Chains A and B, each alone.
Chain A
Amino acid sequence: MASLIVNQGLQRIGINASQAVGFAAGRFIQTMSVDDATGAFAAANTKLDDGAGFTQEFDAVLDATPTIAAQTVSHVMTVPTGSGNFTISRIALHDDTAANVNSASATLVGGVDGQSLTKNNSFSLTITLKITYTSA
Chain B
Amino acid sequence: MEPQVGLKVKRIEAEAWAEPGPGMTLEALEAELRRLDHVIIEVDTDRGRIKVMQFKEEFNG
Tell me, yes or no, whether A binds B.
yes
In whole angstroms, how far apart are the Cα atoms of A1 and B55 in the complex? 9
Tell me the count of chain A residues lying within 8 A, CB to CB, of chain B. Answer: 32
Partner of B17, one of A3, A126, A131: A126
Partner of A128, one of B14, B19, B49: B14
B52 touches A117 (CB 8 A): yes
The interface residues of chain B, by DSSP majority, are classed as strand
A residues 80-116 with Cβ under 8 Å of B? 81, 91, 110, 112, 115
Tell me the count of chain B residues lying within 8 A, CB to CB, of chain A. Answer: 32
Chain B: CB-nearest residue to A127: B16
A134 at the interface (CB under 8 A from B): yes
Contacts of A125 in B (CB 8 A): 16-19, 52
B37 at the interface (CB under 8 A from A): yes
Partner of B12, one of A71, A115, A130: A130
